[in-house]
Amino acid sequence: MNLVDKIPEIPFRDWIDTFIEWLKNVLAVPFEFFREDFKDFLSDVVTDNLLKVPAEIVMLLVVIAAFFISGKKIGLPIFSLIGLILVYNQGLWEQLMQTFVLVFVAGLISVIIGLPIGILMSKSNIVEKIATPILDLMQTMPSFVYLIPAVAFFSIGIVPGIFATLIFATPPTIRFTNLAIRQVSGELKEAADSFGSTPLQKLFKLELPMAKTTIMAGVNQTVMLSLSMVVIASMIGTPGLGKEVQAALSRSEAGDGFVAGFCIVILAIIFDRFTQGVTKKGK
Amino acid sequence: MPIIKVENLTKVFGKKTKEAVELLDQGLSKEEILKQTGSTVGVNKASFEVEKGEVFVIMGLSGSGKSTLVRLLNRLIEPTAGNVYINDANLATMDKKELRKIRREKMSMVFQKFGLFPFRTVLSNTEYGLEVQGIDKQERKEKAEKALTLVGLGGYMDQYPSQLSGGMQQRVGLARALANDPEVLLMDEAFSALDPLIRKEMQDELLDLQESMKKTIIFITHDLDEALRIGDRIALMKDGSIVQIGSPEEILVNPANEYVEKFVEDVDRSKVFTAENIMKRPETINIEKHGPRVALERMREEGLSSIYVIDKQRNLKGYVTADDASNAIKNEVKDLNEILKTDVPTVELDTAMNEIFNIIHDSPVPVAVVHEQKLRGIIVRGAVIAALAGESEVN
């Protein structure tokens, strides 16, 4: 018998199960809110209302926004228009809107959560030391794993999809915020301090404006990672383009799969150029 | 009464700061403390006082602790030990709120690399110190515009810092510091990043401004010429300690130790010494009492070829030469006025030596040093050469 065999099996599995079960009970009320009300809000209010808007109007708005965000160039507006018409033409407009809501909401929550955590990290070396390995873990853990507690907490549908996406996609926003604020030159920080700024004044009048460009690069990363979660999240019933890809896979229909895949690519490119455009404008 | 009083101000960087301070008290050197505790002494028991309206220069080479010292004064760096009093309030022990009040109202800082916010306009940068105090928009705009006009940037308010030259950027830095109307200006190598011509221009302007503002300025520099030019008093630093404090002349003439001596060795003395430093007591005759005969006699006694003529109030009248005096005696002229030469080369007491060179070169007689028309001394060529050669006693 090997020496290593003498160590009894450590019940990691039980611990994690117990922990998840415990969390589920402790946070039962907020979880239920997200599982029921938030889900209804997203699918019945946001997505449905979005679908009530005629596709032509949505396309027009996107084209106008693209025109201004790209600095009054016509490349992005034309690409957006053709891309959106193509999606509509392939009968995937509804799925596109569902995926858009997933990515947009996940991105928004990522920024709302990530920005303050990033700021905290930049202000405290201790917080940075604790947070860094956790962020590493969040990004390296196979993202499928997040689906399990997501289902345990939020059942199936768009909400667990957003949850799993958040865990996987928030780290870049946190990291870039931390980095950006730490990179603000020491002399500028000293200047702000020497004129008697409070820590909050320094943050809002110097550090965040200086960090804006880099933080937006992090947000761009977050949005791109959210898109990459679209197909994975569809495994737990998140509706949208990802679900089409998965359905095509299970039926071995390459055509369906590629068409849905291309639609995700089109959405990704529009999202990417939009977030980058906002970044460049910040300069 | 001094406006700033610094007592045993000490900064130790590292972990065992308490231990290091104890060792400092025992008189151990910076190197020994680094070896024993692993901590670096940044500033070692600096003590000095700065009078209201004074330009106090702290100078030293890089690593001498001067930039650390100035940051201890407004606590951008926390002191390890010691006290900093500004108008009797101890900055080293006050809480953050009081400290902010001091920083907002009493002390402003100008930075080596200007420290301007790139996303703000010149005007908005200048307003920053007023903005954090919560002063309303209109008032802070007025004050900032006034400060910008003062430094000669009235027309650049809507530009961004990156659109301005280095010299102009530092003017914005200066305007920002002046906008809160502080009592004390801390200038950390403020002109070091500028090229030499602009630097000199800024030094002159600072001195002009100081003429009218009468702020207390603590100026950090590694450039001895700059220190001598603008400082009323200079503190020389080495290895975190202040080695000598004194007026520019004192430091040049009586260097406290070998280090200071080495430092001042290469100084362009011609810029530092003034007429007052190298003049000597003049031989004179009184126009109301004496005639050509006395003049010639006096010149013969002293071995001179000319002599200065004054009246009873020591007002400078002119000079007579030995040749003219002996001719006058031959022709029986009694009145000195007839042979008096009035094309006298004169300089003021505070004329710098490098300006005296040309005057003395073209002059057949020693240069007269006058103050309010009264003759105070004369400068002979030999004295200029002696001073340049670095003799500490030129008289």
* Domain B275-388, CATH class in plain words: alpha beta
Contact (Cβ atoms closer than 8 angstroms) between residue B245 and residue B234: yes
Distance from the B205 Cα atom to the nearest Cα atom in chain A, whole angstroms: 23
Are B58 and B241 within 8 A, CB to CB? Answer: no
| Cβ pairs bridging A and B (under 8 Å) | 60
Whether residue B104 and residue A187 make contact (CB cut-off 8 A), yes or no, is: no
Query: In this predicted structure, what is the pLDDT of residue B390?
Result: 61
Residue A134 phi/psi, 5-degree rounding, is -65, -45
Put simply, whether B77 touches A (Cβ < 8 Å) is: no
How confident is the model over B186-193, as a mean pLDDT? 92
User: What long-range pairs does A133-138 form, CB within 8 A, spacing at least 24?
Assistant: A135/A171, A135/A174, A135/A175, A138/A167, A138/A168, A138/A170, A138/A171
Closest chain A C-alpha to B373 CA, distance in angstroms: 48
B115–A190 C-beta distance less than 8 A: yes
How far does B235 lie from chain A, in Å, by closest CA?
A: 23
Comparing CA positions, the residue from B369, B314, B309 lying closest to residue B341 is: B309
- What average pLDDT does the structure give for chain B? 87
Q: What is the mean pLDDT of residues B345-356?
A: 83
SS (H, E, C) chain A: CCCHHHCCCCCHHHHHHHHHHHHHHHCHHHHHHHHHHHHHHHHHHHHHHHHHCCHHHHHHHHHHHHHHHCCCCCHHHHHHHHHHHHHHHCCCHHHHHHHHHHHHHHHHHHHHHHHHHHHHHHHCHHHHHHHHHHHHHHHHCCCHHHHHHHHHHHCCCHHHHHHHHHHHHHHHHHHHHHHHHHHCCHHHHHHHHHCCCCHHHHHHHHHHHHHHHHHHHHHHHHHHHHHHCHHHHHHHCCCCHHHHHHHHHHHCCHHHHHHHHHHHHHHHHHHHHHHHHHHHHHC
Q: How far apart are CA B247 and CA B241, in angstroms?
A: 18
- Interchain proximity A198–B180, CB inside 8 Å: no
Of A101 and B358, more confident: A101
More confident residue, A126 or B283: A126
Contact status, residue B283 vs residue B302, Cβ threshold 8 Å: yes
| B103 inside 8 A of chain A by CB | yes
Among residues A224, A210, A205, which one has the least CA distance to residue A276?
A224
Of the pLDDT bands very low, low, confident and very high (cuts 50, 70, 90), residue B98 is very high
- Nearest-angstrom CA–CA distance, B77 and B188: 14
State how far the alpha carbon of B363 is from the alpha carbons of A22, B284, B308, B367, in Å.
101, 18, 14, 7
Q: How far apart are CA A222 and CA A228, in angstroms?
A: 10
A38-42, B96-100, B167-171 — which is least confidently predicted?
A: A38-42
Q: A191 to chain B: which residues are within 8 Å by CB?
A: 109, 111, 115-117, 128
Asked if A191 and B113 come within 8 Å (Cβ–Cβ), the reply is no
Has residue B110 got a pLDDT over 90? Answer: yes
pLDDT of B394 reads 41
Of A190, A201, A210, which is closest to B76 when you measure between CB atoms? Answer: A190
Q: What are the structural domains of chain A?
A: 11-52+90-282 (1.10.3720.10)
Assigned CATH for B2-106+182-267: 3.40.50.300
CA dihedral of B312, B314, B315, B320, whole degrees rounded to 10: 90
Question: What is the predicted pLDDT for the residue at A283?
Answer: 44
Is A196 close to B133, i.e. CB distance below 8 A?
yes
Whole-number Å distance between alpha carbons of B2 and B49: 6
Inform me whether the pLDDT recorded for B256 exceeds 90.
no
How confident is the prediction along chain A (283 residues), in pLDDT tens digits per residue?
Answer: 688 888 888 999 999 999 999 999 998 888 888 888 888 888 888 888 888 889 899 999 999 999 998 888 888 999 999 999 999 999 999 999 999 999 999 999 999 999 999 999 999 999 999 999 999 999 899 988 999 999 999 988 889 999 999 999 999 999 999 999 999 999 999 999 999 999 999 999 999 999 999 999 999 999 999 998 989 999 998 889 999 999 999 999 999 999 999 999 999 999 999 888 877 654 4
Q: Which of A232, A264, A245 is nearest to A164 (CA)?
A: A232
Cβ of residue B160 closer than 8 Å to a chain A Cβ: no
Q: Is pLDDT above 50 for B395?
A: no
CB contact under 8 A, B119 and A193: no
Per-residue confidence at B392, pLDDT binned at 50, 70, 90? Answer: very low
> What pLDDT, on the 0 to 100 scale, is given for residue A1?
67
Query: For the sheet containing B306-310, what is the strand order?
Result: B284-286, B306-310, B316-321
Compute CA B304 distance to the chain's CA centroid, rounded to the nearest angstrom: 38
Measure the CA–CA gap between B48 and B67, rounded to whole angstroms.
16
Q: Mutation test of the interface with chain B: which of A188, A195, A203, choosing the one with the most B Cβ atoms within 10 A? A: A195
Partners of A197 on chain B (C-beta within 8 Å) are 100, 132
Please answer yes or no on whether A187 and B108 come within 8 Å at the CB atom. Answer: no
Q: Give the C-alpha separation, B345 to B360, whole Å.
A: 8
pLDDT digits (tens, 9 = 90+) for B118-138: 999 999 999 999 999 999 999
Q: Who among B111, B113, B132 is closest to A196 (CB)?
A: B132
Q: Check CB contact under 8 Å for A194 and B186.
A: yes
Token pair belonging to A237: 């019933």
User: Does A193 sit within 8 Å of B111, measured CB to CB?
Assistant: no
- How do the domains of chain B map onto residue ranges? 2-106+182-267, 275-388
**Cα distance from A212 to chain B (closest Cα, Å)?**
11
CA-nearest residue of chain A to B109? A194
CA-based nearest residue in chain B for residue A184: B117
User: How distant is the Cα of A209 from the closest Cα of chain B, in angstroms?
Assistant: 8
Mean pLDDT, rounded, for B58-77: 91
CA angle B87, B56, B233 (to 5 degrees): 120
For the stretch B51-67, pLDDT in tens is: 999 999 999 888 888 99
Q: What is the ipTM of this complex?
A: 0.79
Mean pLDDT, range B82-111, rounded to an integer:
92
Please judge whether A209 and B117 are an interchain contact, meaning their C-beta atoms are less than 8 angstroms apart.
yes
Three-state SS string over A59-104 comes to HHHHHHHHHHHCCCCCHHHHHHHHHHHHHHHCCCHHHHHHHHHHHH
CB contact under 8 A, B111 and A197: no
Give me the pLDDT at residue B101, please.
93
Give the pairing of strands B40-51 and B2-13: antiparallel
B219: number of Cβ within 10 Å? 25
